[in-house]
Amino acid sequence: MRALIIRHDHQSHAGYVGARLAERGFVSHEVTVVPEQRFHSPDVRVAFPRPTDFDLVVSLGAPWSVYDTATIGTWIGEELALLAEAVRADVPVLGICFGAQALAAALGGRVERAPRFELGWHTIESDEPALISPGPWYQWHFDRFTVPPGGRETARSAAGPQAYVVGRSLGVQFHPEVTPGIVAAWLAGGGDAEARELGLEVAALRRTETGARERADALVDAFLADVAKI
């Protein structure tokens, strides 16, 4: 089985989610949208593969906003088209943070600024804890999505929806993939200064949460069995 992993920037990778997919027999093909040398000018051109060449698509997080086309340029429109094509072709999608927002936008939902930011480890309210554990999950977002037409919200927090299912696809606002190395890269790439501006303790953002890998594994397993039905 083949998984397409969409990495939007060089600081992010599939982490625990990618590791679990490998354990479940998936061979991953990674596409990095914005290379390191273009991180501060992310309006690049990208040749995305066809989603129908894969058994699963995973769209990861990003430090930008889905709606900020003045900054990120045309590739977001091409990614939305890819995600919409995947859903039409019955190829399951797992959208994570920015990826969940992009999936929602591709299917007719909205992406907007959240009424509050969420950074660090947070618990959430889940209607389906066998699929989406209450956490704690790592959060790092300033935007939120609305659940697209035909989808069902499965979890939420005070900032907005945290997870939804549409067909064989799942979007989650939090970061089940996050590892200590991913967090360190985000902080080193400018997140530490951003956190201080918000009055947050950087040391708390570096904290490792017990059971994070196990929760990520359980989420991937439940997604594959109950949503993607692979």
Catalytic-residue membership of 175: yes
For residues 50 and 75, what is the distance between their CA atoms, to the nearest angstrom? 14
Residue 129 half-sphere exposure toward CB, CA atoms < 13 A: 6
Q: How far is CA 156 from CA 102, 104, 153, in A?
A: 18, 15, 8
Task: Tell me the CA distances in angstroms from 153 to 92, 96, 116, 147, 220, one per residue in order.
Answer: 17, 15, 19, 6, 18
Q: What are 138's strand-pairing partners? A: 121, 175
- Of the residues 79, 141, 175, 194, only one is catalytic, namely 175
Active-site annotation holds for 97: yes
Q: What CA–CA distance (Å, rounded) separates 83 from 106?
A: 6
Q: How far is CA 217 from CA 7, 21, 111, 143, 165, in A?
A: 20, 9, 28, 26, 18
Distance of CA 64 to the CA centre of its chain: 12
> Is 177 in the active site?
yes
Residue of 13, 79, 118, 177 with catalytic role: 177
- Active-site hit among 8, 97, 118, 194: 97
Query: Which of 146, 143, 219 shows the shortest CA–CA distance to 177?
Result: 219
Cβ distance 121 to 211 under 8 Å? Answer: no
State the burial class of residue 226 (Cβ atoms within 10 Å of its Cβ: 0-12, 13-18, 19+).
middle
Rg of the chain in Å (alpha carbons)? 16
Q: Which residues are the active-site residues? A: 97, 175, 177
